[in-house]
Structure 1
C-alpha cells in the first residue's frame, strides 16, 4: 500500500499525528478500527431499515432505538474515516475549519446520545411504573419532541466550543497528538488564554453527564421501588429483563466517556498512546455493540431481523412486503 507523506505546511492547517509512539503499528491498529466501524454501520443501518420497514415496530421504544442508531452512526463516522486515512495513507492534514467542524459533530453527537439514554430510562420507568397510561404519556409524537429537544440541547451546549476557539490566535506548533480533533487537544494548539475554553468544556461535561446520570438514577430508583412491591417473582424477572439492554448500553456509553474526559484533564501520568486508544474505543465499541445488545435482548426486533435475514438468504424470495 502506497504511503503519502502529506504533512501540511499551511499555517491554517493542523496535523493529526494519529497515535504517538505507535506510528509503525498504524496499519495493524487500523484492522480492528475498520472492522468495528463496519460492524457498527451494518448493525445500526439494519436497525434503521427494519424499524422503518415494519409498521408493527412504529412504537416509542423503537423510535428511541432509531435515535440511538443515528447518534451512534454520527459519532463513529465523525472520527473513524479520518483516523483510517491517517493509518492507511498518512493523510494527517486537516484544515482549522474542518477540525472545528469535526469537534462540533463528535461532541454534539455524544451529548445527543446521552439525551437519548435519559429518554430511554424515562420510557422504561413509564412502562413499568405506570403501564396503563404508557400509550397516553409516551406516544410517537411526544418521543419525536423529546428527541428534538435533545438535539437542540446538544447544539446549544456544543456550538460555543468551536466558536470560542475560532477567535484564538495560532501557535507555531500545529501538531495535534490525536486521531481526531478533541476539544481540549485542539485548545492546546492556541496561544491565547484558554482558561474559558477549559472551564466551559469541563462544566458542559459535568452538567451533561451528572445531570443525565441523576435523571437515569431517579428513573431506576423508582423502577426498583415498584418492582419490589410486586409479589410475583416472575413479574420481577420480566420487569427487570426489560431494563437489561438499556443498563448495558448505558454502562458502555458513560464509563469510557467519563474515563476519557477525566484522564485527558487530570491523568498526566497515563501514556499518551494509552489515552488515545481508550478515547477512540468510546467511538468504536458502543456504536458496534448497541444494536447487537438490543437485537439479542428485544425479541420483537430479533424476530424481524431474523425474518429479513431468512428472506435474503432464501433463493427465489424477492418480495419484501412488510408484515
Structure 2
C-alpha cells in the first residue's frame, strides 16, 4: 500500500520548526528526523518511512498546519503541452511539437495545498493547470536510461501540482519562467504519496480533476500523457543534473481558461497584426473571460485511481488579492 508523507508545523505556533510524518487516516506518526529537505529525507530515511507502524500515529491532523511536501531547495521542473487535448485547445498541432517541452518554475513559488494564493495586482489573466507531480527518490546519474519498469528505482512518490500561470505575462512576453513563478503560484500536496514498484505500474490510471467554485474545468487520466515519465527521466538525465527530492510537473490536459481563437482569427492575427496589437487584443478578450481566476474563487483538485487504491488527497485553494 502507498505511504503518504506529510510536512507540517504546529497549528497554533507560527514559529514552530517544520516536521515530517507519515499520515495514517486522520492521524500522523511523527518521523522525528528534524526539518530535512525532501531529498535528504528520501535518501537518508527511506526504510524508516516504510517501517513506521500505524500504532505510532499519535498526532491528530486537525492539530497541525500542512506545508508543501516538496521543500523550496529542490528543483521545480515542468513539462509543457504534454497532453494532446491541451495542445489542441492551445491552437497548436501535435505534429509541430514532436519534442518534449521542458521549462522550470522558481522553487520559491511552492506553497501548501490549502494555502491562499495572492493574485498580484498587475496580473489580470490568472490561469490554473492541474498536473501530476513526480518526486525523485534518488539522483539521476548523467546518461541514465530509465524504462517503464525502472520507475520505482528512481522515483519516490507522486503529488498534486497546480501550475498557476499569469497568462498576460507568460504569453505576450514569451516568458514561461516569469509568468509562472510568482510567490504562491505552485501549490503542491497535500502529501507526497510514496509508491511501491508494483504501484508505479498504475500511474496511467491516475484520474485528475480540477474544479473552480464547484464547476469541473479539467478531467483526464494520466495515461493521456504524450511523453511519459520514463522517457522524460531519460531525457533529463542526458541534459542536466537531477537530484533526489526534485519535483517534475508532467503537464496539464484541456480545460484551462486560456484558449486559442478560431482558425480565421488566428490567421488574421498572424498575417495582418503586429505582435503588440495581437497581444493587446488577447488581453482585452481575456478580461471578459469568466474562466480566469479572480479573488474569492475556490479551487478543488484531486488525483486518484478510480478504485481509490492510490489517492493523492485534495487541494483546496482560495484566490485572494486586490
Q: TM-score range by the shorter chain?
A: under 0.3
Higher helix share: 1
TM-score, with normalisation over the residues of structure 1? 0.23
Flag the structure with larger Rg.
1
Q: Which has the higher contact order (CA 8 A, sep 6+)?
A: 1
TM-score, with normalisation over the residues of structure 2? 0.23
